[in-house]
Amino acid sequence: MPTYTYACKSCSEQFDVQQSFTDEALTKCPKCEGELRKVFGQVGVTFKGSGFYKTDSASSSNSSSGSNS
């Protein structure tokens, strides 16, 4: 079950809640009854190993695309 972070627009209270994808988003702050917004953070994906652009497909500094032959 994913964990979502919410922040109150009124009192700036932040908290995490585990919710199913089908659950409705929370709308009221439990502390002050103010309006909530979801906080979006960094995506937790790390690409490791070969097969990715940085390690396999990036052009090298000694490429022959600009050579005079």
pLDDT averaged per 10 residues, the chain (length 69): 91 92 92 92 72 59 53
Q: Which domains occur in the chain, in start order?
A: 1-41 (2.20.28)
How much is the pTM? 0.57
Measured between alpha carbons, how far is 37 from 15 in angstroms, rounded to an integer? 11
Q: What is the C-alpha separation between 21 and 42, in angstroms, rounded?
A: 19
